Amino acid sequence: MSGATEPAPAAAARLTGQPAAVVAGRSGAPAELRLGDGTVVVAKRADRPGAARAEAAGLRWLAAAGTVRVPAVRGADESWIVVDLVPTGPADAGAAERFGRDLAALHAAGAPAFGAPPPGGPEDASIGGAPMRNATGPDWPRWYAEHRVLPYLRIAVDHGTVRPAEAAVVERVCDRLPALAGPAEPPARLHGDLWNGNVLWGADGDVRLIDPAAHGGHRETDLAMLRLFGCPHLERVLRAYDEAAPLAPGWRARVPLHQLFPLLVHTVLFGPGYAAQAVSAARACLSAM
């Protein structure tokens, strides 16, 4: 049976070596399942070839830093990933401050290079439902333009979602990235898709991160994505982060620069509404010079 047609309980049983049954009242996708030992897990079918393997490698890489917690990976292959379910609770200020400090420590764990995939992870990975290539580069401005901003801009132009005149604004930002990027920083260990939906406030008071698009990048990119899509107690998170690992002067002014990448990804996936936001972000970058 192919991964595309295999039922979630069968996939989970094959990957974990335990019988798996759907939790009563929890039908849907991803599937919540109870394993033979009583552990409740989530089984998710990959939306792109290799996406499950990339997600599993990313979770293990983040876990290896011993900082922000992630759900344990019970098994993964090219089509499926099975991870522990995270019982959630309310977001509180103390958890937000711990999250800020732990996120700073995660970033400080580092990566071999900008664009480096997690150990065992594929170069051709994904972010959400979009492809994301983890090709490495020696410096962040050139790498960010070549491997994060411009690929999605070209797709958006080809689809007619971004007009040529609007694309020219984004291209000007890429041309000026060395002047816009701020002080050079070493590659950070990024979650890579750090929007609010991937930040789970655990019932035990600890944050867990899920669904990474992990790679080596600039730490301000994760923080900019948190701001783009909102996060409970965000200012507490950022303040605790900055106290643990002070950010370079001007980092708030660089938020639109780091938001270009996720905005263009969303433009490719979801259309013109995000295109307008991406172009506005590009204009904000240029006006800040």
Residue-level pLDDT at 45: 94
Q: Are strands 215-217 and 188-190 parallel, antiparallel or unpaired?
A: antiparallel
pLDDT tens, N- to C-terminus, the chain (289 residues) = 455 689 999 999 999 999 999 997 777 779 999 999 999 999 999 988 889 999 999 999 999 999 999 999 999 999 999 999 999 999 999 999 999 999 999 999 999 999 999 999 999 999 988 999 999 999 999 999 999 999 999 999 999 999 999 999 999 999 999 999 999 999 999 999 999 999 999 999 999 999 999 999 999 999 999 999 889 999 999 999 999 999 999 999 999 999 999 999 999 999 999 999 999 999 999 998 7
CATH number at residue 73: 3.30.200.20
Q: Are 81 and 91 in a shared domain?
A: no
In this structure, what DSSP letter does residue 83 have? Answer: E
Going 259 to 107 to 184 to 116, the CA torsion angle's sign is: negative
Q: Are 242 and 150 in a shared domain?
A: yes
Where does a domain end: 52, 67, 85? 85
What is the DSSP annotation of 196-249?
A: GGGEEEBTTS-EEE-S---EEE-HHHHHHHHHHH--TTHHHHHHHHHHHSPPPT
Q: Which residue has the tokens 């930040």?
A: 199
- 3-state helix, strand, coil split of the chain in percent (to 5) is 45, 15, 40
How far are the Cα atoms of 8, 176, 237, 262, 268 from residue 226, in angstroms, in the given order? 31, 24, 10, 11, 20
Q: Are 56 and 33 in a shared domain?
A: yes
- Encoded amino acid at 173, one letter: V
Q: Are 176 and 270 in a shared domain?
A: yes
Going 55 to 57 to 58 to 59, the CA torsion angle's sign is: positive
| Orientation angle between helical segments 219-229 and 93-108, nearest 10 degrees | 150
Where residue 205 falls (left for φ over 0; alpha for ψ -120 to 50; beta otherwise) is left
Q: Are 17 and 159 in a shared domain?
A: no
Range of the domain at 213: 86-289
Q: Are 66 and 103 in a shared domain?
A: no
Q: Are 53 and 113 in a shared domain?
A: no
Q: Are 55 and 196 in a shared domain?
A: no
Structure tokens at 19: 């019988």
Whole-angstrom Cα Rg for the chain: 19
Q: Are 19 and 162 in a shared domain?
A: no
Active site residues: 193
When divided into structural domains, the chain yields a total of: 2
Q: Are 238 and 123 in a shared domain?
A: yes
Residue-level pLDDT at 288: 83
190, 191, 150: which is closest to 174 by C-alpha? 150
Q: What is the pLDDT of residues 186-208, one digit of tens each?
A: 999 999 999 999 999 999 999 99
What pTM does this model have?
Answer: 0.95
CATH number at residue 248: 3.90.1200.10
Residue-level pLDDT at 3: 56
Q: Are 147 and 181 in a shared domain?
A: yes
Where does a domain end: 55, 85, 115? 85
Where does a domain end: 30, 57, 85? 85
d(CA 178, CA 186): 15
Q: Are 71 and 102 in a shared domain?
A: no
